[in-house]
């Protein structure tokens, strides 16, 4: 199973004065088992691309295929079962009286038995660290931003998708809430064999979690490679308004000052080990 974008183009407000090209000539393939990061400055087309992956938007031209099924098809049930999308702002997809009803909404529409629905809701709550009993009485609009985010993710997980698309899942969260969400996403990838597509402004998060990075600039794919290769191109990224992870910046500045450190460190742990090794060698 895979997701394919073939010459994908999306134009908002086509043929009127407010026309805007959001995506142009997008060709990519997403396979099972990948953890993909999508980065780009504001307005580059990241969120538009994310919404095409499960058929929420349809192409102006070109095509998007999920397991060979075009997102242009009228009945998108199979596509939505396989590709789950969590919006940047969870309140946009929470609407039921209780969190439990929100989480069970998707499985109910799959025609599952009550027992199967119950099992899925319990599994989804456990996967994101929610107390399923507490969710039965709690309104989603009584929750904090981080809790809303987890309920929204649980609602998508309850569909048991093969691909999980997350659009800025940590936006607006405090450091603790952010770390909790990211750790839960990482565990889903590792334990549940779920393919993850993460849209984010955080180079640190992308470098730490992903094994493939897609850079979007001016509605087109600018780079598509491993984190090591993408973040080695500091000059090119800077030209389109993006930075490299702070840990990478630190070791590169140290290298410029004459310290014999590795310059391909992508996170704090790697930078620490490289600097520690260099200092031990000096002493």
- 155 pLDDT tier (thresholds 50, 70, 90): very high
Of the listed ranges 52-56, 187-191, 213-217, 245-249, the least confidently predicted one is 187-191
Provide CB contacts within 8 A for 12, sequence distance 6+: 18, 19, 20, 22
- 227 pLDDT tier (thresholds 50, 70, 90): very high
How far lies 246's CA from each of 103, 149, 203, in Å?
Answer: 37, 26, 8
Residue 178 has pLDDT above 90, yes or no: no
pLDDT of amino acid 6? 98
In angstroms, the CA 152 to CA 70 distance is: 26
Sign of the four-CA dihedral 277, 182, 244, 232: positive
Q: Are 136 and 169 in contact (CB under 8 A)?
A: no
- Provide the residue ranges of all domains of the chain, joining segments of one domain with +: 2-232, 245-283
**Average pLDDT in the 111-124 region?**
93
**Average pLDDT in the 56-75 region?**
95
Q: Are 190 and 110 in contact (CB under 8 A)?
A: no
pLDDT of amino acid 149? 87
Residue 9 has pLDDT above 90, yes or no: yes
Neighbour tally for 216: CB within 10 Å: 25
Residue 13 per-residue DSSP state:
T
- Pick 2-232's CATH classification: 3.20.20.10, 3.30.499.10, 1.10.10.10, 3.40.50.300: 3.40.50.300
Residue 215 has pLDDT above 90, yes or no: yes
pLDDT of amino acid 176? 84
Q: Is 122 left (phi over 0), alpha (psi -120 to 50) or beta?
A: alpha
Residue 91 has pLDDT above 90, yes or no: no
**Average pLDDT in the 266-276 region?**
90
pTM: 0.90
């Amino acid at each position: 199973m895979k997701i394919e974008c073939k010459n994908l183009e999306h134009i908002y407000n086509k043929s009127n004065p407010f026309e805007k090209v959001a995506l142009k000539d997008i060709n990519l393939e997403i396979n099972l088992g990948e953890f993909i990061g999508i980065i780009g400055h504001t307005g580059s087309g990241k969120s538009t691309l994310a919404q095409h992956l499960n058929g929420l938007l349809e192409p102006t031209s070109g095509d998007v295929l999920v397991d060979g099924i075009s997102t242009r098809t009228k009945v998108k049930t199979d596509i939505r079962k396989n590709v789950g999308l969590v919006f940047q702002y969870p309140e946009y997809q929470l609407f039921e009286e209780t969190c439990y009803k929100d989480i069970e909404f998707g499985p109910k529409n799959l025609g599952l038995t009550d027992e199967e629905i119950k099992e899925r809701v319990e599994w989804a709550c456990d996967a994101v660290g929610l107390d399923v009993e507490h969710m039965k009485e709690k309104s989603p609009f009584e929750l904090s931003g981080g809790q809303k985010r987890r309920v929204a993710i649980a609602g998508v997980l309850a569909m048991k998708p093969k691909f999980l698309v997350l659009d800025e899942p940590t936006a607006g969260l405090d450091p603790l809430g952010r770390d909790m969400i990211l750790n839960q996403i990482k565990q889903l990838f590792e334990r549940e064999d779920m393919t993850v597509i993460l849209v984010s402004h955080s180079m640190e998060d992308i470098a730490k979690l992903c094994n493939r990075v897609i850079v979007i600039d001016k509605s087109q794919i600018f780079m598509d490679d491993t984190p090591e290769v993408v973040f080695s191109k500091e000059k090119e990224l800077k030209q389109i308004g993006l930075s490299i992870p702070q840990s990478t910046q630190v070791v590169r500045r140290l290298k410029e000052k004459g310290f014999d450190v590795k310059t391909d460190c992508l996170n704090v742990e790697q930078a620490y080990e490289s600097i520690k090794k260099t200092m031990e060698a000096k002493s």
